[in-house]
Structure 1
């Protein structure tokens, strides 16, 4: 048996779990790996999506062990969850004798490291970004507070240990990989680090599969006909610069007076509407819709161009926005800012749109909407070559194949 334990502090009923965990596991289970998946679920999402995820896991022979995420009190709740994960993982190991533990990010890696040290299980550290730095730069941890300062330094020490003691490392970006190599850590070579960006299911995100009748109905429903539709897809908060995106849209309304901004997000519409109102944007020019992951491709098809700005920082060197591959796969030109992982490099390499040097007001009020270099065919080719799910599954398979079996 090729037994693998997959640990995720993200939920499978979250959009992230459905786009960035399950598709890989399904692909790898078809290659003969037997998965046990431990994840932490938010109660409201779990009640809505539980049966869908359960049937998906049963169909693909994935043994899913959902645990309930504890939100409060801060810090203590996370310690409670870590203990739950550790106890469940070790109990399951007694039954299944895992050969590999695949840890998604830093909290899961605490348990993976213990399994490696105590039981000799091979460890894949799938870092997903410089997590401790993200918490500080995203203003989630205030290191003026002695407790958070201690937690930050604890995880920075652990980070080095994860890199040095793991059997394999996955970075989302080349820039992140180069950063890690520059630290000259013990047992960390270029060969040990694989770069696998946030991949996209090209079967789902396929413009050929969009029902033109349904698209027509959606245009009518949201009153998009005869409008230039600027689109945004995904969550807002911490890193995504809502104010700057709305300022860029305001500039676009001068270039295209018929422009509308369509947000496809699960965020509260009032957050977006209030910010738009403050900037003097007509509320009638904003649309906010919440849809399931399966329906996102149809809504991206409504866009004339897509926009996302991410606050650049040290931790963002290792970030790969999920939405980039999805937008490119649908052949939509995108506007983004420089300085976030490999994002701008991919936009330029595949002529996928426009990279703004920064998100200062001067820059946001002076760009053109002509997309002179945009090449739809090349953009979609880039989605296949760089962000394609099959490529991602193959890259993980190469790692798994070294340690399992």
Structure 2
């Protein structure tokens, strides 16, 4: 077997952000346990860093991961990102001078700027973990308005860099089979065998199948009666998540059973959720809005009968793997969502674990709720069927295979 690798993992996301503990550290812990020597550089928001630093320090130390956190800067827009890229490159070069790395593993595009530079300068292998189609996400999400000359120039510059990354990367990771299809068939990248699909995985140990006892406890905690239908939404309400449509769907649920409750497990301000609900005649008695730590999330979601989320089905979302999907399904909750996002349609069809609505209107909501009502899921069988898509150990195995393959090439 090929020897373990010395890895420099670059992330513009912070480890004290929600994605760090769920979508970075679990993989790196698994890879470190396989013998890989991991140095992690991340960019931390100051307010979250102060609160979460000690826990991440301890987690990394226990796993043998060297963590080198940097300060994330937000303003002025774009200029601050360029400044952070220079900081990332300076730190990466300094660390490489101390002890050379075999592979620079770059989480998304900002990190890839540095990974590409490291390959050109030192010959390190360059792993482009592209996550999604970032530049297109910025445009479709309304964050980069192409009518602005500045944003238009930024978009075209990033797209040129994207083409370079795809050409120069020694290995590419995407989140969905749909994204791999785009790269191979529409963008026609050379050597498509360099592309590996690794969805946003779920730590099944942290999201155990819901039991009747845990459901009863969660409902007592939230003040929900035992036989009330409960829909659950997990995560932030932001650019891509269609709050209005989700509440329209829940209103159809309320028409069937006026006692129905919708649980939001989110750190977002409850005000906009309550206002949007009130505009649809949904009063506060029908809502439970709770912030939660990662450990508390499964405890609260145990109150639910099904998960509900809708995502804008744009081009860039073909590359999206919703973290919440794996977590909801791991708990044994069926999911009601919309079609046209990443591999969601394919996953739900293969596992029989939910319904993807093709059109978001009253007729579509009613059909989706009808289909959901007749699903009979066995949580343990469901978890076994999810292994190919979401099992963390499988994700770690795929990254390990990439690392060892790059070393032996």
TM-score band w.r.t. shorter chain: over 0.9
What's 1:123 paired with?
Answer: 126
> Which 5+ residue runs of structure 2 have no aligned equivalent?
none
Preserved contact between residue 165 and residue 187 of structure 1 (Cα < 8 Å)? no
User: Aligned ranges for residues 89-104 of structure 1 at < 5 Å?
Assistant: 89-104=92-107
Q: Which SS does the other structure have where 2:369 is aligned? A: coil
**Equivalent position of 2:236 in the other structure:** 235
Displacement of 1:300: 1.9
Q: 1:370 to 1:255 in 2, by over 3 A?
A: farther
Please name the residue that 1:2 is paired with.
Answer: 5
The verdict on how the C-alpha distance between 1:43 and 1:92 changes in structure 2, with shifts beyond 3 A counting, is same
The answer as to whether partners of 1:350 and 1:375 remain within 8 angstroms in 2 is: no
Aligned counterpart in structure 2 of residue 34 of structure 1, from 33, 37, 40: 37
CA distance in structure 1 between the aligned counterparts of 2:241 and 2:29, rounded to whole angstroms:
30
- Alpha-carbon displacement from aligned partner over 1:270-303 (angstroms, at most 9, x marks no partner): 1211111122211210111111112211222111
3-state SS of the aligned residue for 1:232? strand
Moved more, 359-368 or 274-283: 359-368
Which position in structure 2 is the counterpart of 1:220?
Answer: 220
Distance verdict in 2 for CA 1:398–1:149, change over 3 Å? same
* RMSD of Structure 2 on Structure 1 (CA): 1.7
Question: Equivalents in 1 of 2:158, 2:376: separation in Å?
Answer: 42
Task: Give the Cα–Cα distance (whole angstroms) in 1 for the partners of residues 386 and 61 of structure 2.
Answer: 30
Moved more, 136-145 or 40-49: 40-49
| Aligned 8 A contact 1:353 1:374 in 2 | no
1:51-97: CA deviations, max 9, x gaps? 00000000011110111111111111111111111111111110110
Residue 52 (structure 2) aligns with: 49
Q: Give 3-state SS (helix, strand or coil) of 2:143's partner.
A: coil
User: Is 1:192 aligned to residue 199 of structure 2?
Assistant: no
Aligned position for 1:140: 143
Cα distance in 1 for partners of 2:361, 2:158 equals: 33
State how far apart, in whole Å, the 1-side matches of 2:99 and 2:273 are. Answer: 48
Report the Cα distance in structure 1 between the residues aligned to 2:156 and 2:376, rounded to whole angstroms: 44
**Residues 210-289 of structure 1 correspond to what in structure 2 (within 5 A)?**
212=213, 216-226=216-226, 227-289=228-290
Q: Which residue of 389, 392, 395 maps to 2:395?
A: 392
In the alignment, the residues of structure 1 paired with residue 46 and residue 257 of structure 2 have an alpha-carbon distance, to the nearest angstrom, of 43
SS of the residue corresponding to residue 107 of structure 1 reads: helix
Corresponding residue for residue 323 of structure 1: 324
Q: Is the 8 A contact 1:331 1:376 kept in 2?
A: yes
* Change in CA separation of 1:325 and 1:186 when aligned onto 2, cut-off 3 Å: closer
CA distance in 2, matches of 1:83, 1:51: 26
Tell me whether 1:149 sits opposite 2:152 in the alignment. yes
Q: TM-score, normalised to structure 2's length?
A: 0.95
Q: What is the match of residue 63 of structure 2?
A: 60
Work out the CA distance in 1 between the residues paired with 2:229 and 2:353: 18
Counterpart secondary structure, 1:38: strand
Residue in structure 1 matched with residue 206 of structure 2 by the alignment: 204
Structure 1 gaps, min length 5: none
Distance (Å, rounded) in 2 between the aligned partners of 1:385 and 1:156? 31
Cα distance in 1, alignment partners of residues 277 and 189 from structure 2: 50
**CA separation in 2, counterparts of 1:349 and 1:266?**
32
Question: Are 1:306 and 1:335, in contact at CA under 8 Å, matched by a contact in 2?
Answer: yes
Structure 2 counterpart SS, 1:294: coil
**Matched-pair contact (CA < 8 Å) for 2:218–2:302:** no
**Deviation digits for residues 96-155 of structure 1 (CA, Å, limit 9, x no counterpart):** 101000000001000000000111000110011100000000001101000000000011
Counterpart in the other structure of 2:360: 359
SS in 2 for 1:23: helix
**C-alpha distance in 2, partners of 1:186/1:374?**
42
Q: Distance in 2 between matches of 1:185 and 1:116?
A: 23
Deviation at 1:256, TM superposition (A): 2.0
Distance 1:149 1:258 in 2: 49
Residues in 2 aligned to 1:271 and 1:287: alpha-carbon distance in whole angstroms: 14
After superposition, the C-alpha distances for 1:341-398 in whole angstroms (9 at most, x for unaligned) are 0001101110001110022354235543452244334432232232000010001010
Moved more, 72-81 or 371-380: 371-380
Q: The residue matched to 1:348 in structure 2 has which SS?
A: helix
- Relative distance call for 1:211 and 1:19 in structure 2 (3 A) is farther
Number of residue pairs the alignment of both structures matches: 402
Q: Which residue of 2 aligns with 1:88?
A: 91
Query: CA shift at 1:188, angstroms?
Result: 3.0
Q: Please report how far the alpha carbon of residue 164 of structure 1 lies from its aligned counterpart in structure 2 after TM superposition.
A: 0.8
